[in-house]
């Protein structure tokens, strides 16, 4: 989206990242539930660990709400999910089935309303809700300050001493394109691969 990238180029701190990585894009997920599951797998673990678990899970079961609910919990555990995460992906599956979650069902809701709804599901905190706003729904003005990678990134490119509150305040200058800014902040670290969405939470 050229308008977003032109806006970010106006910021002295982000301009070098835009030039280095090009115009990064943000697209809604093709499969909302599968992207949701990926976010849950990435909670509090490294990208590499989550990727390995995701590969095993997607080989073991049909990763749809119905497929997860029909799967034996031992199959989920054998794929590498902890007992808690197995329960979380089941909880989200139940929400998709019973509450009719879909990209369309959230289309007319504000970001805050989406967060309020998603965090009623046990196992879904603010970080996971932010990931759905960005990578499932393609919302353009999300700043997931609860993400460790975002905090590392903004400290690397803006100021190493920023508090979380100061990060949120600073991010306002990137509105209404803070999701795009976040894509670049994730890349402003040495230890984050190009597949940044859903960096470590802490």
- The stretch 114-141 carries a mean pLDDT of 97
| Nearest C-alpha neighbor of 71 from the set 85, 90, 98, 94 | 90
Domain ranges of the chain: 2-26+143-186, 32-136
Residue 82 is predicted with a pLDDT of: 96
Residue 53 is predicted with a pLDDT of: 96
With beta carbons less than 8 A apart as the criterion, state whether 174 and 11 touch. Answer: yes
Domains 2-26+143-186 and 32-136 alike in fold: no
pLDDT band at 26; cut points 50, 70, 90: very high
CATH number, domain 2-26+143-186: 1.10.1670.40
| Rounded Cα distance, 192 and 31, in Å | 24
More confident residue, 35 or 2: 35
Residue 200 is predicted with a pLDDT of: 41
pLDDT band at 103; cut points 50, 70, 90: very high
- The stretch 76-84 carries a mean pLDDT of 96
Fold for 32-136, please state it.
Endonuclease III; domain 1 (1.10.340)
Q: Which percentage of the chain shows pLDDT scores above 90?
A: 89
> Residue 18: is its pLDDT beyond 60?
yes
pLDDT band at 196; cut points 50, 70, 90: low
- The stretch 106-122 carries a mean pLDDT of 97
CA distances from 187 to 29, 61, 160 (A): 20, 32, 16
Q: Which percentage of the chain shows pLDDT scores above 70?
A: 93
With beta carbons less than 8 A apart as the criterion, state whether 4 and 140 touch. Answer: yes
pTM value?
0.91
């Amino acid at each position: 989206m050229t308008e977003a990238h032109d806006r970010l180029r106006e910021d002295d701190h982000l301009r070098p990242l835009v030039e280095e990585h090009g115009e990064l894009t943000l697209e809604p997920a093709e499969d909302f539930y599968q992207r949701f599951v990926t976010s849950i797998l990435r909670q509090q673990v490294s990208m590499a660990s989550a990727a390995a678990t995701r590969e095993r899970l997607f080989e073991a079961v049909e990763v749809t709400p119905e497929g997860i609910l029909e799967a034996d919990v031992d199959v989920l555990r054998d794929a590498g999910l902890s007992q808690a995460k197995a329960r979380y992906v089941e909880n989200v599956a139940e929400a998709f089935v019973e509450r009719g979650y879909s990209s369309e069902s959230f289309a007319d809701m504000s970001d805050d309303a989406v967060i309020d709804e998603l965090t009623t599901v046990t196992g879904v905190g603010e970080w996971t809700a932010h990931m759905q706003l960005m990578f499932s729904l393609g919302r353009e003005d999300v700043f997931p300050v609860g993400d460790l990678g975002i905090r590392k990134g903004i400290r690397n490119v803006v100021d190493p001493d920023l508090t979380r509150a100061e990060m949120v305040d600073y991010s306002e200058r990137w509105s209404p394109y803070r999701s795009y800014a976040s894509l670049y902040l994730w890349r402003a670290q040495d230890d984050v691969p190009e597949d940044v969405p859903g960096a470590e939470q802490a």
